[in-house]
Amino acid sequence: MKKSLWIIAIAAALGVEVAQAQCTPATPEQNADYEKVVNALQNQFKNHPPTGDWRIFDERSSLGKLQLSDEYGKIFRVCDDRYDLVWQRAGAAQQQKARADSSTAIGDTLTQQQHSMVMSTDSIYQKANVSAEAQSTVDINVEMNVSNYRLQEPLSNRIMASSKNITVKGAPMALQVTLKPDQSGVTPRPETVVFLGNWKNNLRTDSENNKLYHYSYSKGGSMIENLVITIKGPLDMANSIVQKVDWQALAKTLNR
């Protein structure tokens, strides 16, 4: 048993070293390039919410702590060359805060906790209202320097139901993607995906029947050559964002 634990510990340590080895600290020039792109993304997406009563729920970037990866084509990207923004309807944000406040209050005393059903209530909420909550949240995920965009990834149980090309002014390629339900039976939100950079608009299939769009590098992976912007949310909400964003302005931030 002890020997097995040592083997697991050594493997875990090696795994950390490998993950770290894939990341390289950014130079000042690369940080400046990244900051230019992130500032442009913030200017477009934070200033152009979906139509309706929406507020920013979360925003993440790596300004000031960027770690670069040149492991193009890998399934998992362990470094931080990306940007994420979450919009949420005001009502949904208030409900989420109320649930968090309720959980905190119920846990204040042992007596309250004994008579509490907070865990099951929260579980019921997730089961009963997953569809309603999906209608009230829009995630914008931006990946940078992507070599292959996968329409489906069986290893992570991301299986495409259908996809179609759409036209977005200023972008060489854009898609609307619907996915099949996951293992728990929950249907993922549809995805609107906009590609900026020198993408080849040629769908191909690999040996495992994964659908791939291939990217053609013009500068061998220099900062920053392409963006894959995925908007997860109702298609009408995603479309309102797509129509408001100046995609040509975003494209101009990319290195040529």
pLDDT category of residue 131 using cuts at 50, 70 and 90: low
The span from the CA of 214 to the CA of 9, in Å, is: 38
For residue 125, pLDDT over 50 is answered with no
- pLDDT value at position 3? 44
Please give the average per-residue pLDDT across 211-229, as a whole number.
Answer: 75
Q: Report phi then psi at 144, rounded to 5.
A: -120, 145
Pairing mode, strands 211-215 and 173-179: unpaired
pLDDT of residue 149: 86
pLDDT of residue 218: 60
The pLDDT of residue 132: 66
Q: What is the mean pLDDT of residues 109-114?
A: 39
Q: What is the mean pLDDT of residues 187-203?
A: 88
Strands 160-165 and 148-150: unpaired
Copy the structure tokens of residue 6. Answer: 């040592």
Q: What is the mean pLDDT of residues 88-104?
A: 59
Q: What is the pLDDT of residue 10?
A: 38
Range of weakest confidence among 12-21, 85-94, 228-237: 12-21
Per-residue pLDDT, 92: 60
CB-based contact 197:229 (threshold 8 Å): no
10 Å Cβ neighbour count for 64? 9
Q: Compare 189 and 127 and report the one with higher pLDDT.
A: 189
113 pLDDT higher than 50? no
pLDDT at 78: 64
User: How far apart are alpha carbons 79 and 77 in whole angstroms?
Assistant: 6
Confidence of residue 91 (pLDDT cuts 50, 70, 90): low
Tell me which range, 64-73, 89-98, 130-139, 175-184, is most confidently predicted by mean pLDDT.
Answer: 175-184
Residues whose CB is less than 8 angstroms from the CB of residue 70 and which lie 6 or more positions away in sequence, other chains included? 24, 221
- Give me the chain's average pLDDT, please: 75
**How many other C-beta atoms are found inside a 10 Å radius of the C-beta of residue 2?**
6
Higher-pLDDT residue of 117, 98? 98
Please give the helix or strand (H or E) that residue 231 lies within, else none. strand 227-232
Q: What is the pTM of this model?
A: 0.75
- Paired tokens of 30: 């690369």
Sort residue 157 into left (φ over 0), alpha (ψ -120 to 50) or beta: left
DSSP alpha helix (H) spans, 22-155: 28-45, 90-106, 110-114, 118-128, 130-134
- Domain residue limits, the chain: 66-88+137-256, 90-135
Six token digits for residue 76: 């998992």
The mean pLDDT value for 38-65 works out to 90
CA atoms within 13 A on the CB side of 181: 7
